Chains A and B, each alone.
Chain A
Amino acid sequence: MPDAPTLSRWRRRLSLGLLLAPALLWLGALIVLPHVDLAVLSFRARVGPRTYVASLAQYETFFLEPLYWHVFVRTAVMSLVATLLTLLLAFPIAWVIAKLARGRASSLLFILCLIPFWVSETVRTLGWMILLRESGVLPALLVKLGLIGTPVELLYHDATILVGLVYTSLLFMVIPLISSLESLDNTLIEAAYDLGAGGLAVLRTIVIPHAAPGITAGCIVVFMLTLGNYLTPTLLGGKNSQWFTEQIYTQFITRFNWEQGAAFGFLLLGLSSAMVVAGLKLTGQRFGDVMRRT
């Protein structure tokens, strides 16, 4: 028979376990298990009906077929560009909300950033299509203003994809930026100004170093969301989108080649992880500090 202290320790462990159970179950059942299965899938090749062998063939295909890694690199570059554009756009917005606007105005501006997220991503993207398609609102307006002679197709360009991605990601950049800018003591800005710094020098030497964890956090979130986005590139880019998630979708759904799809999935996971690590290394941040900002 166990003594009392052992019993109470067991009880503590049990209650902790029960508290963590939903999270662990969620992690285990929905993330770890499928990924283990996908990993297994990605490392085998079909040699006959229902016969498989362990193989690196799926990964080999990726590197040998230029289309695949072309799309892969393109997705990475476009995601990076979208992340940078989002940062450039979100920074002034976050600055106004965190530093310039007071009280009600500040919450109102924040709500304005939030409102688009009340409708689903599909509807939002379809909204962009209504605005941008050849017979849509914006080309008609341009014609009416006499800026162009005949309506032009504004959909299915890289720029269109970027617009959609930035629009979808903005909030996820604004939130960590606001929290990191709000914690910046205004007297530091005044002190820098007083010591002879101009606006740009203040931004470079005081504001950005202080906001760095927030910037990195926002960039990580936005980059991951963008890289893994399927709907926006597909709808706004059409056939030209060439987004890597589409390749994965094609392999799984159209070609029914789950092995290839799984390998692509892991390549994408590897890419986003590598980019995050590189980003953290480049800016000298620690993952823990950054994640506390989000």
Chain B
Amino acid sequence: MNAADLVATAVSKRFADHVAVDALSFSVEHGSFFSILGPSGCGKTTLLRMIAGFIAPDSGDIAIGGRSMRDVAPNRRPVNMVFQQLALFPMMSVGENVAFGLARRGVARAERRRRTDAMLERVGLAAAAGKRVDELSGGQRQRVAIARSLVLEPTLLLLDEPLGALDLKLREHMKIELKQLQAAFGTTFVYITHDQSEALVLSDHVGVMNQGRFEQQGTPQDLYYRPQTPFVAGFVGANNRIVGRAADTHGNEVRITTAEGWSIHARGHGPIAPGDAVEAFVRPEVAILARRPDDLPRDRPAHAGVVQSLLFDGANSAVLLREARTRREFRIALPQTGQFSDLKPEESVMFSFDPERAVCFPARSGTAGQDA
């Protein structure tokens, strides 16, 4: 295992009566891409600003490169940040932007020039050094912002939702570019985002943050396939959330009955006794759709449904059903063979899913009534 570039130990920050970051501990390995994923207001920006040094934690410690950052000002930390709005300096050329940090360190002009040119070359902007910042496209600016930080060879690069301001097409493109840049430079990236797809695509490790705490840390695959909390199951990837009570448990398998009386089976996670309030999550791609009952695997409970609407989105197409008897909504991903592309609203279908691939948690207090 590599040495940790960032170690946070019980870091807390409270604003007035609201706890933004609550005794958070985590570490980020050298050279890895770590994402902090969470909804807006979960405290991720506060956490990032504490790492950068713009906010001091109320308690706990942040160590970067093995050195405690207590009382170290942002301009003295081996950390650089790519801001959400990029914050390129409009009064300077692209080259001057990239050379800015080197100049502040007192690097001589010729050396500054050499390193700036080399960095711009690496991000594919060799010809842009003399340009004004507003002459660049959104993607080019992004690269300048990253180059401006990486030229200082920081231990840690912090990225504050840098793709948020880009349009969808460019965002998809920049995702790939970011990942390639990180691999090429080998710098440790700490990336915050509310976009689960960014976090999943880019990261080696993700911390899912909610109300100032990490709900779960792990690889993107862990989060997707083995969510440890209902929040993670609901936040990472699409999921059908089914709220009900545990009717009975059979080994690890729980039978859940909704208030309307629909019964499903799922793998239990955590202590669940019959009668407990639970919430179950079934991914749209886990369920199998069929027009006739014989087309479904025989060893699983089958459910009947009525097509409500077809959600065509290329490879991400899905169908929105209602369970035949209880009218409970359920979303199923359509197979990419185009097999069900001729489904019509109000058509009756059958579906089933492997209970092992559905997960059921004890209901969170206070949120049982909400729909994910």
Same complex: yes
On A, residues with C-beta under 8 Å from B are: 185, 187-188, 190-198, 201, 205-206, 209-210
Are B87 and A206 interface neighbours, CB within 8 A?
A: no
Residues of A within 8 A of B89 (CB): 188, 191-192, 205-206
Residues of A within 8 A of B88 (CB): 191
In the complex, A206→B97 CA distance in Å? 11
Are B75 and A194 interface neighbours, CB within 8 A?
A: yes
| Among B10-18, B99-107, B162-170, the stretch in contact with A | B99-107
A196 vs chain B, min Cβ distance (A): 4
Select B74's contact among A185, A194, A201, A210, beta carbons within 8 Å. A194
Known: A205-B100, A206-B91, A210-B91. A193 touches B85 (CB 8 A): no
Cβ of B7 within 8 Å of any chain A Cβ, yes or no, is: no
Residues of B within 8 A of A198 (CB): 75, 104
Q: Which of A193, A194, A197, A210 has the most CB of B within 10 A?
A: A194
Known: A195-B149, A196-B75. A190 touches B87 (CB 8 A): yes
In the complex, A27→B81 CA distance in Å? 54
3 nearest A-B pairs in the assembled complex, by CB-CB distance: A191-B87, A195-B101, A196-B104
Select B83's contact among A190, A201, A210, beta carbons within 8 Å. A190
Residues of B within 8 A of A205 (CB): 89, 92, 100
In the complex, A188→B100 CA distance in Å? 12
What are 15 sample pairs from A and B whose C-beta atoms fall under 8 A apart? A185-B85, A185-B87, A187-B83, A188-B87, A188-B89, A191-B81, A193-B75, A194-B52, A194-B54, A195-B100, A195-B148, A195-B149, A196-B105, A197-B104, A205-B92
In the complex, A187→B81 CA distance in Å? 11
In the complex, A198→B75 CA distance in Å? 7
Q: B73's closest neighbor in chain A, by CB? A: A193
B39 vs chain A, min Cβ distance (A): 22
Are A197 and B91 interface neighbours, CB within 8 A?
A: no
Within 8 A of A (CB), among B148-170: 148-149, 152
Within 8 A of A (CB), among B301-319: none
In the complex, A39→B88 CA distance in Å? 51
In the complex, A195→B81 CA distance in Å? 8
Residues of B within 8 A of A191 (CB): 81, 83, 87-89
In the complex, A201→B105 CA distance in Å? 11
Residues of B within 8 A of A193 (CB): 73-75
B119 vs chain A, min Cβ distance (A): 13
B197 vs chain A, min Cβ distance (A): 25
Q: Which of A185, A187, A190, A195 has the most CB of B within 10 A?
A: A195
> With A195-B101, A195-B104, A196-B76 given, can you name 18 additional A-B contacts, CB distance below 8 Å?
A188-B89, A190-B81, A192-B89, A192-B100, A194-B54, A194-B74, A194-B75, A194-B81, A195-B100, A195-B148, A196-B75, A196-B104, A197-B104, A198-B75, A198-B104, A205-B89, A206-B91, A209-B91
Residues of A within 8 A of B90 (CB): 210
Q: Bin the interface of chain B by size.
A: 20 to 34
Select A201's contact among B80, B104, B148, beta carbons within 8 Å. B104
Residues of B within 8 A of A206 (CB): 89, 91
Residues of A within 8 A of B74 (CB): 190, 193-194
Select B101's contact among A185, A187, A196, A210, beta carbons within 8 Å. A196
B151 vs chain A, min Cβ distance (A): 9
In the complex, A196→B84 CA distance in Å? 19
In the complex, A209→B75 CA distance in Å? 20
Q: B77's closest neighbor in chain A, by CB? A: A194
Q: A185's closest neighbor in chain B, by CB? A: B87
In the complex, A195→B82 CA distance in Å? 10
Q: B85's closest neighbor in chain A, by CB? A: A187
Residues of B within 8 A of A196 (CB): 75-76, 101, 104-105, 152
Q: B105's closest neighbor in chain A, by CB? A: A196
Instruction: Scan B129-154; emit 1 where CB is below 8 A from any A CB, else 0.
Output: 00000000000000000001100100
Q: Which of B74, B89, B90, B152 has the most CB of A within 10 A?
A: B89
Residues of A within 8 A of B85 (CB): 185, 187
In the complex, A210→B92 CA distance in Å? 10
A215 vs chain B, min Cβ distance (A): 13
Residues of A within 8 A of B83 (CB): 187, 190-191
In the complex, A198→B106 CA distance in Å? 12
In the complex, A38→B152 CA distance in Å? 63
B232 vs chain A, min Cβ distance (A): 31
Q: B160's closest neighbor in chain A, by CB? A: A187
Residues of A within 8 A of B152 (CB): 195-196
In the complex, A197→B100 CA distance in Å? 9
Residues of A within 8 A of B92 (CB): 205
In the complex, A194→B92 CA distance in Å? 17
A111 vs chain B, min Cβ distance (A): 28
In the complex, A206→B75 CA distance in Å? 15
Within 8 A of A (CB), among B103-117: 104-105
Instruction: Scan B273-313; emit 1 where CB is below 8 A from any A CB, else 0.
Output: 00000000000000000000000000000000000000000
In the complex, A193→B54 CA distance in Å? 9
Residues of A within 8 A of B91 (CB): 206, 209-210
In the complex, A196→B107 CA distance in Å? 12
In the complex, A198→B87 CA distance in Å? 17
Instruction: Scan B27-58; emit 1 where CB is below 8 A from any A CB, else 0.
Output: 00000000000000000000000001010000
In the complex, A6→B79 CA distance in Å? 68
